[in-house]
Amino acid sequence: MKSPMPWFYLFAAANAGLAFANDGVDAYRQGDYLQAAQQMTAITGKDPMVDYYMGRMRLYGYGQLKNDTLAMRHFQQAADQGFLPAIRIMAGYALFSLKNPEQALYWFKKAADKNDTRAQMYCAAAYMFGVGVKQNPDMAKRYYILAAKNGDSIAQCTLAQSFLETHQSANKKLGLIWLNKAVAQNNPEAQVTMGALYASGTLVPQDFAKARELVGLAVAQGYVPALYQMGEIARLANELPQAKEWYIKAANAHDEQAEMALSTLYMQEKSPMYDLKAAFLWMLKAAQNGSHDAQLALSDMYKKGWGVEADEHIASEWQQTAAKTAQWTPAKAQIKAARWLTNGKATALAQTPYRLHGIFSPWENASALKENHYNQPPQMDPLVRANLYQPQFEMITPNRIPISDYYNALVAALGEAPVEPLVFPRYPAVSVDETTSVDKLEKEAHLGDASAQYRLAQMYQQGIGVKQNIEEAIRYYQLAAAQQNLRAAYQLSVMYLDGHDVPPDYKKGMDLLQDVAFKGNAYAQYVLGQIYAQGLTAVAGQPIVQTDEARSRAMYALAAVNDNGLAQYRLAEMMVRESPADGLPQAMLKRMQTIKALYQGAVTNGVEKAALPLAFFNAMDTDKLKQEQAFEVAKKAANTGNLDAALLLGLMYDHGIFVTASQADAVHWYQQAETNPMGAFLLGTHLSQGTGVDKNLEKGYALLQQSAQAGFSYAHFNLAIMQYQRNEAFLPELDKAYALGNSTAGLLLADYYLSLANNDEQMKQA
């Protein structure tokens, strides 16, 4: 029999439930918990948000009798329907209140599936160390890959280390990419790992200064393993006294690696530090602190009588202790997980951000914890509009504006990048001395040695050690290129394209250049990037290659990844001139980090013109070493008349970055850049306020107008304030500042209109 209830009744009933839910949620958010409970009680189990709020009211006793059992029932209903805040509560409750890591993992996995980064990290730790589940490195990796993609620096560092431990060169390159991402986020373990690579010359050129700089960043964060790594850098540099000092600092902070390193240092027979007794004592300390490796080594020292009287019985005891240390226990697993999740800051999961907050944490008011009891919810003081909206007509001082805002304004005024001459970088000429045998090289070349063929080609091309012979140079380049010698193929492509040694053959040159570029040659990738950026025209004037910005960018990106400094600089210059596709803060931060990394790479690779743009980024950094570098670069360039450098130097004095804040010194440098719109704003504001210079309202106003005409929003803002103070019409300038995206102007406009609003139209305007 069919139901007599028409479909529209069902529709109306469903909408009524939705209305009850919305009314209940609104009442909850307004603090009317009694009304919220009345509205939501009838529809629990139908809307996860309703169950979540009902759970909170039951948990705290707001509008409902406090009842933990009912609270958790509501939370579970919401969590079962996929409501993420409820899932997080269920996970934390299972882990800390029920002490049930198996059940906790069930809920954390549900949260991880909803792309919750913190939950992904917990799942990775659980599978990595065996918390509530059997250890499974593959499952752990699955979860920390997800977290790494979401930007978690610990996950990025761990993923990098997993790639670096493989034997495949492609994976090692990926490892460096992920490691750099973690370093860019100031992750101390990543800084230490990258520093260790520079110290050993693994995958990157050996550079002790760079290694110390990176590890020093981790030391500044109080990361204890960084102290040990500083010792390792000193040891690799054969600076044993300094190594010992760093090891002792780390050992005093209970770093077991450092204690073992000190022991090893004292065991070196040929070292002036040789002292078996001291070696034994440091190894004993590491063993007592729980190092499995130290316990085994100590057992061996007792067996052999190194630094201590031989004793087989004690040796056996330390063997047994080491075996116990190696045994897995749930408690040890949780300690390791907590350390991994916090970069060593915590030794218990309860000390991590996963701990429960609010009423689940230690609660001072014991009476509020009673079951079947109403609690008084927090009360908000009544708000009066007159107290809320009090427009503050004050000029914004230069040191209140982040340097990033000045940088963005400078970049916005750059316009298109200037067209630069096409540059064909060449490989260094071969070195030839009296020991070089041309006959021997020719024999090796005829036997198919590509390296010999390449050297001979260079010698014949440049007339070094032999009479110059371009035909022979081309022949040997071709032989080497046929054996996949990319340098030879690149040099040959340049000969055909630049027409210096032979008549141009653009087709041959481009075919060779493209082939070499796609095989990974950074020079070829960079040159192709240039060609696609500005096109290629024959000597006679006919076009050979049309401009193609997308291809140019792709080639620069490939060359930049291959550590080509010129490509890194060009790519950075392209990016700073682009309008960002995504204006969200996280995307903007990531974009700025990428640009900074490109400028840093360019400077490292000898591109001097990248130094000043990098200095702006370093001035924004919290690291004192970076700030010092920025100051020195800006000072040097400003003394040569560079206006942007003078601005940066003035800003550093104004903000007190690296130097003691000095408005007088800031004004001195702003005066050098008065013709620049930024300089006009900065100097105009100081003159208008009489800070760091004698007050001059007329000149200050004129300079602010000059800056405003160039479209700097803060200049419009300060002009509006001066007009308000003069009792002149100020709203047009304030509107212009707001239209240019100045949020401070928007807030002031809103406060101003709200302070005047007496009807709906004025409220709408506000």
pLDDT for 12 equals 38
Longest dimension (CA), the chain: 109
User: C-alpha dihedral over 188, 190, 195, 198, to 10 degrees?
Assistant: -170
pLDDT for 1 equals 41
CATH assignment at residue 446: 1.25.40.10
- Structural domain that includes position 531: 432-588
Query: pTM of the prediction?
Result: 0.55
In a domain, 241, yes or no: no
Domain boundary pick from 588, 615, 630:
588
Residue 299 to residue 608: CA distance in whole angstroms: 56
Amino acid (one-letter) located at 87 = I
Do 332 and 436 fall into the same domain?
Answer: no
Residue 321 to residue 315: CA distance in whole angstroms: 10
Alpha carbon distances (Å) from 128 to 16, 339, 345, 588: 49, 12, 18, 33
Buried b (16+ CB within 10 A) or exposed e, 238-271: eebeebbebbbbbbeeebbbbbbbbbebbbeeee
User: C-alpha dihedral over 338, 344, 346, 348, to 10 degrees?
Assistant: 30
pLDDT for 433 equals 63
Do 326 and 442 fall into the same domain?
Answer: no
In a domain, 765, yes or no: no
Domain boundary pick from 532, 564, 588:
588
In a domain, 500, yes or no: yes
pLDDT for 42 equals 80
In a domain, 322, yes or no: yes
Do 329 and 449 fall into the same domain?
Answer: no
In a domain, 448, yes or no: yes
In a domain, 411, yes or no: no
- Token pair of 346 as six digits: 């915590």
Alpha carbon distances (Å) from 60 to 67, 373, 573: 8, 9, 56
> Which of the residues in the chain have pLDDT under 70?
1-21, 361-365, 380-389, 415, 432-436, 581-583, 757-766
Helices vs strands, H then E, count in the chain = 40, 2
pLDDT for 430 equals 74
CB atoms within 10 A of CB 462: 16
- Token pair of 311 as six digits: 């004793």
CB 35 within 8 A of CB 41: no
pLDDT for 3 equals 46
In a domain, 306, yes or no: yes
In a domain, 328, yes or no: yes
Do 320 and 455 fall into the same domain?
Answer: no
Alpha carbon distances (Å) from 350 to 334, 354, 546: 10, 7, 62
Domain boundary pick from 304, 321, 336:
336
pLDDT for 628 equals 94
Do 323 and 440 fall into the same domain?
Answer: no
Alpha carbon distances (Å) from 252 to 241, 285, 286, 339, 340: 17, 11, 11, 19, 22
Residue 167 to residue 150: CA distance in whole angstroms: 27
Indicate if the alpha-carbon torsion angle 375, 380, 381, 382 is positive or negative. Answer: negative
The total number of structural domains in the chain stands at 2
Which of 326, 276, 323 has the alpha carbon at shortest distance from 302? 276
Indicate if the alpha-carbon torsion angle 554, 557, 558, 559 is positive or negative. Answer: positive
CB atoms within 10 A of CB 14: 11
Residue 416 to residue 598: CA distance in whole angstroms: 19
Which of 184, 195, 261, 264 has the alpha carbon at shortest distance from 226? 195
